[in-house]
Amino acid sequence: MKRWLAMIVAALLTVTAFGSHTFAQDDAATTVGVAESADLGQFLTDSEGRTLYLFTRDTEPGVSTCGGDCATNWPPYTPAEPLTLPDGVEGALTLVDTPDGVQTLAYNDIPLYYFAGDTEPGQTNGQGVGEVWYVVAPGEQFGARAMAEVEEMGSPVASPMAATTVMVGSTPELGEFLTDSEGRTLYIFTNDVEEGVSTCGGDCAVNWPAYTATEPLTLPEGVEGELTLVDTPDGVQTVAYNGIPLYYFAGDTEPGQTNGQGVGDVWWVVAPGQQFGEATAAAS
């Protein structure tokens, strides 16, 4: 049940390290490097060791389909030419256009992307996210994923009847914030500008899944407010607190994690008692 949440995106302070979400190569290194982990084997990185990913929804060779909200969480890698591979790695590097009008590197016609949740070289938090994001093996060809088998992920789960639908977690940095019944952090999307209306669907929902709870919807003692279910653009429902649609972050892999805090300056934890349209303390 817990495995539907894949690995993914950055906390408030780490997202800024990605700046505009595009990265230039280190002139002292090849455009692409190779890293290795016990779980995944060898995979491609940028010149500074930051992991690069493929998007299985890129179904045409050399054509990127990741733009908008997708590109916020999965930024392109825009290196300077000449494009160079390390010794021993066969293949071709090219630059391809993204839907946002910028270019990203492609390896053997596979468009490559960063994951905003990787904050240090060698991290692979994007691996398996939404069952559409994966590391890229040296020598890999378009359409064939040469990688370690990914653990199967399920779908969003309902809250167990033994607990309240929403609970309260806390950290010294953020104070108290809402979680699901198992302690997994829930987030507000400030682009939801109409009370009780979710605008997160498609690529957005891959990274920020809905919290689909069963009724009755219950709050813990001492937390005032109202819980409802609201429709998302994908036709599923998510829990809303005081008219605020709530979402998971796919980059939170354990209860209590808050890796989604501050992502894109539009995702924030939700304080007990918070009202729709009221900024979180961290966002204000």
Phi-psi region of 69 (alpha: psi -120 to 50; beta: other; left: phi over 0): alpha
Closest to 52 measured CA to CA, from 26, 29, 78, 70: 78
The model carries a pTM of 0.49
Q: For the chain, give every domain's residue range.
A: 1-154, 156-284
> 158-180: string of b/e by CB count within 10 Å (b at 16+)?
ebeeeebbbbbbeeeebeebbbb
Closest to 146 measured CA to CA, from 103, 92, 117, 108: 108
Asked, as a colleague might, if the bond just before 233 is cis with ω within 30 of 0, I would say no
d(CA 131, CA 98): 21
Q: What is the pLDDT along the chain (284 residues), one digit of tens a residue?
A: 444 444 444 333 333 334 333 333 344 579 999 999 999 999 999 999 999 999 988 889 999 999 887 888 899 999 998 999 999 999 999 999 999 999 999 999 999 999 988 889 999 988 887 678 899 999 999 986 533 333 333 333 333 334 689 999 999 999 999 999 889 999 999 999 999 999 998 889 889 999 988 888 999 988 999 999 999 987 888 999 999 999 999 988 888 999 999 999 999 999 999 999 886 655 54
In degrees and rounded to multiples of 5, residue 15 shows phi and psi of: -60, -35
> 226-249: string of b/e by CB count within 10 Å (b at 16+)?
ebbbbebebebbbbbbbbbbbbbb
Q: What is the pLDDT of residue 279?
A: 66
Residue owning tokens 């994966």 = 134
